[in-house]
Structure 1
Amino acid sequence: MLVESAAAALRQTFSPPLRAILWKSLGLTVGLLLLVWLGLTRLIQAFQASHHISTQYPILDNLAYYLAGVGLVVVLAYLMPAVSILVAGFFLDDAAEIVERTDFPNDPPGRPMPFGTAMLYAVRFAGLTLLVNLAALVIFFVPVIGIAAFFAANAYLLSREYFEMAAARFRPLPEAAEMRRAFSVRTLGAGCLLAALMVVPILNLLTPLFGIALMVHLHKRLGRRPLVTGPLR
């Protein structure tokens, strides 16, 4: 079930309709990261100017600028997944609708969450991503345990958020959460796939669209199993 869902999600991610959404979300993500970079560089320059940070040795000045630049790259790399999730929140309902319409044409269509609710959900998701990864980053360099904690935290968070987002198009959020818990092994397995994708630079920008496509397929397949109670709304 998971393999079939992942293969279908990968195909959908690079299909023309979702590819158009991908380019729009990537453009907005790069634009936001550029604004963050400009803001941070201005703050560094203002800090150096206000504290008269300079030496008589140009090589040390250049080294300071270089280290600051490396620090900015690290910050932006850390922010990239959360920013891409936040931006993709504008398009995830559209992406889910495309997947439902093309791969499940005979099923009743889902209903998108109200725009305000969807945006609050996306902001919460992005904030949790930052917090979880910050906490995991603290112990990331502890041998074995750090990497395992980092991966496990992202797998759980991604499986929970993307599955409930896909399921909420058909059922109330509390029921979507109950369904996720009922099929926790399968949904967490999907989260592991997303966590693995998320740690790959550049490819992690595909996580939001691949994630929603994956969970739409998984929700559809699990929705036909008897453990789920309550009608689709």
Structure 2
Amino acid sequence: MIFTSARLALSDLPSPPFRAALWKSLGLTALVLILLWIGVETVFEWLAVPFLSNLFPDAPHWVDQAGTMAGWGAGLALAIGLLFLIGPISAIIASLFLDDVAEVVERDGYPASPAGRPVAFWRGAVLSVKFFGIVIVGNVIALFLLLVPGINIVAFFLVNGYLVGREYFEFAAMRYRGEADAKAMRSEHSTTVFLAGLVVALFMAIPIVNLLTPLFAASLMVHLHQRISAKNGGLAAFAGGDVSLEADRAAGARVRPERRSS
């Protein structure tokens, strides 16, 4: 089930909707990084030059030039540092398009299942920030464990496998279920979700390719959620409302399904 879902997710990546989501997320990531670099460099130069002038009021004119050069140096250092933020920032921005790719996977891969509903914007924003924080904290812990011989690489995969598997599976499940139901389903199938998360962590470890991690993880977990749900009786209970499933698929609209009674 896990490897089939991973294989299907890999085959989804070259599709036009996934490529469009990738280019949009990378473009916005580049824009954010450039604006951040310009902003920090400008603020640094704006603060550094007056500070040096006030600190050395009788200093020669070259002090002003030194402040400007310091600003350029800080900008260069920041640009190098921002390279390490490409992954996390692109993950946050890509999360804005995950519902779009999830809808494509559900529609094309599982036409007999009811259409999922997009996660509410503000709820999705909260989940994105929460996921970003969890990943940062988890990787800080893993960074400290890198100092312990023998478990450093293992720590990277275990921490990221658990965190990524949990968050992305709950995202896929919440397109059909309430948050509590999604968490309960993830807990019930925690081993399967964790092993799927390890596959994503392996994907994350590949340079450059790891920029596709959010899209790959979302697709994999949508496939996994669909297959687990089918094994447990299917998602027919979520096909509700006044519009039939066939009409919904034909119109390409999202219908808000009824929440399954617990």
Into which bin does the TM-score normalised by the smaller protein fall?
Answer: 0.7 to 0.9
Aligned-pair CA distance for 1:147 = 2.6
Aligned-pair CA distance for 1:76 = 2.1
Aligned to 1:152: 158
Q: Are residues 1:128 and 2:160 paired?
A: no
Q: Which amino acid aligns with 2:142?
A: A
State which drifts further: 204-213 or 33-42: 33-42
Aligned-pair CA distance for 1:148 = 2.0
State which drifts further: 122-131 or 111-120: 122-131
RMSD, matched Cα: 3.0
Aligned-pair CA distance for 1:152 = 1.2
Q: Is the 8 A contact 1:133 1:154 kept in 2?
A: yes
State which drifts further: 39-48 or 87-96: 39-48
Aligned to 1:28: 28
Aligned pair in 2 of structure 1 residues 111, 229: CA closer, same or farther (>3 Å)?
A: closer
Q: Is the 8 A contact 2:118 2:175 kept in 1?
A: yes
Aligned-pair CA distance for 1:230 = 11
Aligned pair in 2 of structure 1 residues 141, 121: CA closer, same or farther (>3 Å)?
A: same
Aligned pair in 2 of structure 1 residues 200, 76: CA closer, same or farther (>3 Å)?
A: farther
Aligned-pair CA distance for 1:203 = 1.3
Deviations 1:52-105 (A, max 9, x none): 8x99xx9xx99x94x9846752x3243222211210121111110011011111
1:31-50 to 2 correspondences below 5 Å: 31-42=31-42, 45=45, 49=49, 50=51
Larger radius of gyration: 2
1:1-233 to 2 correspondences below 5 Å: 1-42=1-42, 45=45, 49=49, 50=51, 65=73, 69=76, 72-73=79-80, 75-226=81-232, 231-232=237-238, 233=259
Aligned-pair CA distance for 1:48 = 5.6
Aligned-pair CA distance for 1:124 = 1.4
Q: Which runs of 5+ in 1 are unaligned?
A: none
State which drifts further: 201-210 or 219-228: 219-228
Deviations 1:136-164 (A, max 9, x none): 22332332223322221111110000000
Q: Which amino acid aligns with 2:26?
A: L
Deviations 1:94-138 (A, max 9, x none): 110011011111111101111111111112112222222223223
Q: Is the 8 A contact 1:81 1:198 kept in 2?
A: no
Deviations 1:14-61 (A, max 9, x none): 101211111111111121122233334445556764458x99xx9xx9
Q: Is the 8 A contact 1:154 1:191 kept in 2?
A: yes
Aligned length: 226
Percent identity for Structure 1 against Structure 2: 40
Q: Is the 8 A contact 1:166 1:219 kept in 2?
A: yes
